[in-house]
Amino acid sequence: MPAFLGALAALALGGFGLVAASPAGAVPTSDVIYNSTLSPLPGNIPSYGGEAYSFNEIGNEVNLAPSTEPLTDVTVTMSSWACETGGWTGPTPCTTTPGQTYAVPITFNIYNPGATPGTVGSLITTETQSFNIPYRPSANSVTNPGGTQCSGAPNGESEWYDTATGTCYNGLADNVRFDFTSKNVTLPSTVVYGISYDTDNHGPNPIGGTTSPTDSLNVAFTTESTDVSVGSDANPGNIYVNSASATNTNLFCSTVTPDVFMEASNGCVSGSPPTNDIPAVQFATATSHGPSQQTGYWTVASDGGVFSYGPQFYGSMGDKHLNAPMVAMASTNDAGGYWEVASDADLRLR
């Protein structure tokens, strides 16, 4: 349990919590040095899964914006197609209790580019963290507000309905954040990164069996030509992949060496994800301008929404299902985020 709970200074009044941004009024900020993620995050976006596409690691070579500061965090968008019971493909309809998750260790590797183009050099740093990935919502094949009907029968497969956008999806997009603060590493201008996790038959250490929810966990992709807002793709039309097979035209077009993390062309692949898509990833470093001297406070509503009156906004649980209302919040020790606290003692870090 975080140490701050022993001295929680949040004020809970009528379902709202109030907390100072930080005792000194200094809020550390970060500089984004590469970004291909989407904000706001839609209900789902195109994706590739290790089990479905037979890969052990997937990533890209990218050019980072100039920075002399150490890496603080990396955000990756995942897409969860897993159901608590049943499945999106049928024959048993997908059913999920709102708020249910499954724990998944995910590894993010950062390498130097290899001496030969398209290869990987030495490992710069790596971080493995366990994330609670949400199961996708239950199937909804009835006619929804606005006349939208998600796909359903005859085989029991079905999409879920996103009331926020009036859209039907098979998967659920979710951001995971890797904390690299303790590594104290400054990155070169160009790096190769890789994302890996275990499924029943793929990943660094395959689980075995046939029932792991990670079989339905994908790495989300965005469009190379329009969604890279900071930095750039070092080799447009290519990704990096450690594939179980030499060819896989659903994932890449060139021939690769099996079980070797290397560059592969995806410029001829069409469909989902569309041509030239790349993993949705964001790199951030400590700011080169020092901590912001903003002062003020945040408030949290019972539905998890957070409102900033001065300091930086780091997101909220306002668009997530909660098992119990939020009643308080507290700044992290470094003022680089905050905890939302529910009445059932559930903690959510933003």
How far does Cα 101 stand from its chain's mean position?
Answer: 14
Token pair 């130097």: residue: 112
Distance CA 310, CA 307 (A): 10
The pLDDT, as a whole number, for residue 16 is 40
Token pair 């000194």: residue: 24
Cβ pair 55, 202 in contact under 8 A: yes
**pLDDT category, 74, cuts 50, 70, 90?**
very high
Domain ranges of the chain: 3-28+291-349, 30-286
**pLDDT category, 66, cuts 50, 70, 90?**
very high
The region of weakest confidence among 141-155, 225-239, 305-319, 322-336 is 141-155
Over residues 135-151, mean pLDDT: 76
Entry pTM? 0.74
- DSSP 8-class letter at 306: E
Distance CA 177, CA 173 (A): 13
The pLDDT, as a whole number, for residue 207 is 96
Q: Does the pLDDT at position 220 exceed 90?
A: yes
The pLDDT, as a whole number, for residue 77 is 98
Three-state secondary-structure class, residue 278: strand
Q: Is the dihedral of CA 246, 249, 255, 261 positive or negative?
A: negative
Three-state secondary-structure class, residue 300: strand
H or E segment and range at residue 74? strand 71-80
The share of the chain scoring above pLDDT 90, in percent, equals: 52
Residues whose CB falls within 8 Å of the CB of residue 72, separated by 6 or more in sequence, listed in order = 30, 179, 180, 181, 284, 285, 286
